[in-house]
Structure 1
Amino acid sequence: MTSLPGMDVAKLRTFLIENGVTVTGELVVELISGGRSNLTFSAHDDNSHWVVRRPPTGGLTPSAHDMNREWTVTNGLQDTAVPVAGTVAFDKEGVVFGAPFTVVEFVDGLVVRSADDLEAFGDDDVERNVDGLVQALADLHAVDYQAVGLGDFGRPDGFVARQVKTWARQWEHVKTRELDDVAKLHAALNEAIPAQTSNSIVHGDFRVDNTILDASDPGKVKAVVDWEMSTLGDPLTDVALMCTYRTPIFDAVLGMEAAWTSDRYPSPDELAERYAKVSGRELSDWNFYLALANFKLGVIGEGITHRARSGSSSGSGAESAATATAEFMAAGLRAINNKS
């Protein structure tokens, strides 16, 4: 049997049974993806199919792989307009694998990750897909988080200021060299923090490849996935990040030619306008949010290279992910100085 780092099939089978899940026949587990975020496995028996997610096996960035967060929010969203996978079981204490992990129902559909994946879409498909993605994000931000039991999911007051502080702190954990623009952008963000912001559930990592689409209708989002960065906070941070992910240099962070950076999708400005129209939200202090998104992505790129150098299984191109950092920091400075 092929070795699966971070996974023990026999222990997973025992865990499922002990949590009231019927396992019929052989339990087959395969790695779906790993390295850029949490490790994701497909697990199936003769009758059922699940997805298992756990943090990477090394080089962890504090707070960036929070399985309890992912489990809590997907549980809370089960009966809302937001499409999520059905929750099955959770090892909160990390007893089985030495790290927490979640088990959810497998959602059969289409995941569009690469530019090659996007070639199957016609122009009308791309338009419908954008409509579905924007609607899913607006639906998430419209959820009454108190009503679905997520009132304690985060601390929305002061969220934006804490984001600036958090990503500056993350930089100190993962930096592989010194970059003057990091300190400059951090200082500029601190000076420009909006006085008032709105609050909602935020995904923290929203783009097309973190969704599962209906294979026959790419305008229908069957599930939003990868919730480990979610919390209660300012919805405009989600929107700005979705738009900033469109930057071509993000390919270096992902280690591939991504679907979401393709010029077949609308420009970042058009995406933002479409969200504003669907959600009814004003994009106040928009340059600040764009600058913060660039700051975050620059740190994330650096973190991927940091984990690769620490020996974590980070996937193809991880050593060069940090090459995007300087460009993101420069873009953030241009945004906050009203030069873009």
Structure 2
Amino acid sequence: MTEEGPAGLDLRSLSGYLGTPVSATLIPGGRSNLTYHVVAAGEDLVLRRPPLGHVLATAHDMGREFRVISALASTPVPVPETIRFCPDETVIGAPFYLMRRVDGAVFRSHTQTDPLGAERRRDLAFAMMDTLAALHTVKPDEVGLGDFGHPDGFLARQVRRWSGQLDKSRSRPLPDVDALRDRLAATIPEPIGPGAIVHGDYRLDNLIVAPDGSAIHAVLDWEMATLGDPLTDLGLLLTYWDVLGGAAAAGAAGVVSDGIGPRAGFPIGADLIDRYVAAGGVDVGPLDWHVALGCFKLAVIAEGIYYRFTLGQTVGEGFERFADMAAPLTAHGLAALASVEG
């Protein structure tokens, strides 16, 4: 940490804003928004801010993230307690918010999940799905989120949105990603029902859990939350779980996490979907298109992260490995769409 603070955080200015001296350290592991452990007046807090430079429009909206976490405080979905949102970019150079630190572990590595054993890994995976089902059953109007998004036409907008993000993140030719985008746009399915609160990046390593895996303490990283088709959360989760966390990972294995999915000894994705259906009472049907969308979305996000790395705008290590993610994700997405089109 420099005298001014860790990269992306001006401690002098933050101390003045809060009216008390603060110390801070960067919390490693995040590849998009930056997260810091902040100690202010003896309190353990967490600060979230957008990444440095090349910020994709709407993908790093601190106000939306703060709003949805605050709204979910009264629901069965475990979230941190929010403290303050600061839209003033002059304080630390970007909007940010503060929340109370939640005790627990974030499982990203198989060295963390291996000691759990098969039974506790299964129980943790099922608890993860129970929590997602609980999120999707929250009625947006009842928690003040009725205007948080526009469910009508959500899937078509997702394809257009991530296509636009791709165009803003290009640093090299990606013909197969373009092919996946076009085929997604031509095969958009009907939604299964009214819109739900969608997390947008739901996965095991976005949860704070008890160190022994016995309980979920908080769901983190709500930067892409909105109202839309809940099956997109399932499709993206399966992309992390069975594609990046399974045999299909190829060169992308371990880039995001090597502690999730069948490769790390957890149940297969089909078992997770069965648990979700049992918890939520909803028959989700085939998820091939939604998995393909998840592959496309992750490929675009990886390219954006890699692009920031080429510009020297990342904080931390390992970002060069994101260059390896687009190809296997795109291949799996095209294969998933083959069953939809066939």
Cα deviation, 1:152-208, whole Å, max 9, x if unaligned, reads: 111111111100111111111112222222222112111211133431001111111
Asked if 1:60 corresponds to 2:55, the answer is yes
Judging changes above 3 Å, is the alpha-carbon distance between structure 1 residues 62 and 108 closer, same or farther for their aligned structure 2 residues? same
**Partner of residue 329, structure 1:** 330
Cα deviation, 1:25-64, whole Å, max 9, x if unaligned, reads: x522111136611110001145311000101112322222
Asked if 1:11 corresponds to 2:6, the answer is no
Asked if 1:206 corresponds to 2:202, the answer is yes
Cα deviation, 1:64-116, whole Å, max 9, x if unaligned, reads: 21111110100110111000000100112323112110100110111111122
CA contact (8 A) 2:191 2:229 kept: no
Q: Which moves more between the two structures, 33-42 or 64-73?
A: 33-42
CA distance in 2 between counterparts of 1:195 and 1:331 reads 22
CA contact (8 A) 2:251 2:328 kept: no
Unpaired stretches in structure 2, ≥5 consecutive residues: none
Decide which of 74, 80, 99 is 2:75's aligned counterpart.
Answer: 80
CA contact (8 A) 2:69 2:79 kept: yes
Judging changes above 3 Å, is the alpha-carbon distance between structure 1 residues 34 and 125 closer, same or farther for their aligned structure 2 residues? closer
**1:147-158 correspondence to structure 2 within 5 Å:** 147-158=142-153
**1:235-250 correspondence to structure 2 within 5 Å:** 235-246=230-241, 247-248=243-244, 249=249
Identity %: 39
> How far did 1:253 drift?
7.9
Question: What is the TM-score of this pair, normalised by structure 1?
Answer: 0.91
Decide which of 108, 116, 123 is 1:121's aligned counterpart.
Answer: 116
CA distance in 1 between counterparts of 2:315 and 2:295 reads 22
**Partner of residue 268, structure 1:** 269
Across the aligned residues of Structure 1 and Structure 2, the Cα RMSD in angstroms comes to: 2.1
**AA in 1 matched with 2:132:** L
* Larger relative helix fraction: 2
Q: Which moves more between the two structures, 289-298 or 264-273?
A: 264-273
Asked if 1:138 corresponds to 2:138, the answer is no
SS of corresponding position for 1:282: coil
CA contact (8 A) 2:258 2:264 kept: no
CA contact (8 A) 2:126 2:272 kept: no
**Partner of residue 281, structure 1:** 282
CA distance in 1 between counterparts of 2:95 and 2:250 reads 29
Judging changes above 3 Å, is the alpha-carbon distance between structure 1 residues 255 and 290 closer, same or farther for their aligned structure 2 residues? closer
**AA in 1 matched with 2:9:** M
Cα deviation, 1:262-288, whole Å, max 9, x if unaligned, reads: 331122222222212221122235211
CA contact (8 A) 2:130 2:279 kept: yes
Decide which of 191, 216, 221 is 1:221's aligned counterpart.
Answer: 216
SS of corresponding position for 2:53: coil
> How far did 1:241 drift?
0.6
- In the alignment of these two chains, the number of paired residues is 332
**Partner of residue 302, structure 1:** 303
Q: Which moves more between the two structures, 247-256 or 184-193?
A: 247-256
CA distance in 1 between counterparts of 2:297 and 2:151 reads 18
